[in-house]
Amino acid sequence: MEIQYVVVPPVFWEQVPRHRERPCGRTRYVSAEIPLPQEAEVFEIKAPGVVAALQKRHSLIRITKFSDDNLHYQLLLTGEHRVP
């Protein structure tokens, strides 16, 4: 199992297929990796990802890869948050 924390523009979440989505709408299950945008930042630890997402007003997504055809994308922070 591999876990990555990815900081991406808010529109990326809309590109993640929703045909297998939890009722909360924040976790989606996919059978293939979704290409990340060029400006994406990838972290192995959550805390630096949170800081980067807040500074850029981007979304933070945790990608859990169980196998090549079993991945979970979980929206942790939306890009709609405000930083004073």
Domain boundaries, the chain: 2-74
Report strand pairing: 27-30 vs 59-67.
unpaired
Q: What is the pLDDT along the chain (84 residues), one digit of tens a residue?
A: 999 999 999 999 989 988 888 888 889 999 999 999 999 999 999 999 999 999 999 999 999 999 999 999 999 999 775 544
Q: Judging by beta carbons within 10 Å of its beta carbon (0-12, 13-18, 19+), is residue 6 exposed, middle or buried?
A: buried
Please give the pLDDT value at position 81. 58
Please give the pLDDT value at position 30. 94
Tokens of 61: 């997504």
Please give the pLDDT value at position 84. 45
Asked if 6 contacts 76 with a C-beta cutoff of 8 angstroms, the reply is no
Phi-psi region of 78 (alpha: psi -120 to 50; beta: other; left: phi over 0): beta
Please give the pLDDT value at position 73. 96
17-29 core/surface letters (b: 16 or more CB in 10 A; e: else): eeeeeeeeeeebb
Full-model pTM: 0.89
